[in-house]
Amino acid sequence: MRGKEEIFRKRVERFQELLQENGIDGAVIRTLSTFIYFTGTKWLRPSLLIPAEGEPTVYVVKGEAELFRERSWIENVEEYQRVEDLMAGVVTWIHTNGFQRVGHEFSVERDSYLLFYKFFQRLNPTVEVVDVLDLTMKLRMIKDEWELDNIRKAGKIAQRGMKVAEETIAPGKSELEIAAEVLRELMLNGSEDPKVYVSTTPRAHAEPFRDLKVKDNGVVTVVIGTDWNHYYSNTARTFVIGDPGERVKRAINVKEEALKLALEETRIGTTLNAVEKKLANFFKERGFGDAYLAGYTHGVGLLIEELPMPTIVVPTRTEKVQENMVLSIVHAPLMISEGAIKHEDTYIVKKDRLEKVT
């Protein structure tokens, strides 16, 4: 197990307090990142059952229990051979304990299937299902020192990856070739599930294509997410090839100015949308209002992009900056016809400063 048992046990205990405060009898955790948060290990197809009082239980596929116990602090580990066995185990856990209100994370994340939720409703028609995403993210948004150390380590790996990107980019190279070289560097340095996006065209989220190549006079944007002990850092840079024109140069300069403004305005107690509005006005004044995509920041942790996520989860725009949040700034690109112009780094919010990680 990566990390001390007391770290994960305290997280479960705090979550149980939140369940009790909200009148929830127990929670079924299917989202992978929250499963890692509570168990201390990454495990595909996870099912974690946390009662409001008592010890948690994990269900794993038949044959996996022994190894799982070696990699987690949780002792109650049940095996299932068929998905029907898993569902029967969950139903038995609920009805044996007399639970009336059970929590689920309403998420689109891997392994948190809507199908599972529908099956759950069908098998437990008298049980009220409650969304606990706000409760889990309330815990996860504020990092402890062990988490921050992992994120710092991930940040150092990300920097190595960006150096390789800079060395690899050349006219004629495909997005996929560049991504492959960066991924190799990240994995060799211990990142187990890195994310690399390369764009030679104006795309905000660019899975690399093998048939899109670096132009003689163009821009290449590289976004890197690296993990260490499952915790991420996030960084992005735009590289200029040859002479792509004056608008690209102006966009890059404006983006650098915007980064300085965002760092000045992102302080403890400030709401995210207050900073967002200032940035929107700034880009408009500089002539790039139409090119700016809303959303200047997002949380970073067990996911490369997690709550607060004001870009797509609108309610989190009113979230206030808090100490030991980890934020990626400035997230949104300037979308011009020459490409997506980005400059993004990961920062830890401290009392009197923002600690740069990447």
Residue 162 maps to which CATH number? 3.90.230.10
Asked if 17 and 122 sit in the same domain, the reply is: yes
Dihedral of CA 10/14/15/16: which sign?
Answer: positive
Is there a single domain that holds both residue 153 and residue 85? no
Compute the distance between CA of residue 208 and CA of residue 241 in angstroms, rounded to an integer. 18
Residue 133 shares a structural domain with residue 153: no
Res 150: pLDDT: 98
User: Strand (E) positions, 17-167?
Assistant: 26-29, 47-51, 57-61, 76-80, 101-104, 128-131
Print the domain residue range for 220.
145-356
Q: Are residues 136 and 275 in the same domain?
A: no
Whether 108 and 169 share a structural domain: no
Are residues 149 and 47 part of one domain? no
Q: Give the SS3 label for residue 144.
A: coil
| Alpha-carbon gap, residue 255 to 157, rounded angstroms | 24
Provide the residue type at 239 as one letter.
F
Residues 108 and 180 in one domain: no
Same domain, 135 and 278: no
Q: Which portions of the chain are predicted below pLDDT 70? A: 108, 110-119
| pLDDT at site 11 | 97
Q: Which of 92, 120, 140 is the last residue of a domain?
A: 140
Element (H, E) at 334: strand 334-336
Indicate the residue among 140, 173, 200 that finishes a domain.
Answer: 140
Q: What are phi and psi of 301, to 5 degrees?
A: -175, -115
Question: Which of 332, 320, 207 is closest to 273 using CA atoms?
Answer: 320
Residues 169 and 252 in one domain: yes
What order of strands is seen across the sheet that includes strand 231-241?
195-199, 218-228, 231-241
Q: Pick the last residue of a domain from 140, 170, 193.
A: 140
Express each pLDDT in 101-110 by its tens digit: 999 887 767 6
- 64 and 155 both lie in a single domain: no
Per the structure, the count of domains in the chain is: 2
The model's pTM is 0.92
User: How many residues are present in the chain?
Assistant: 358
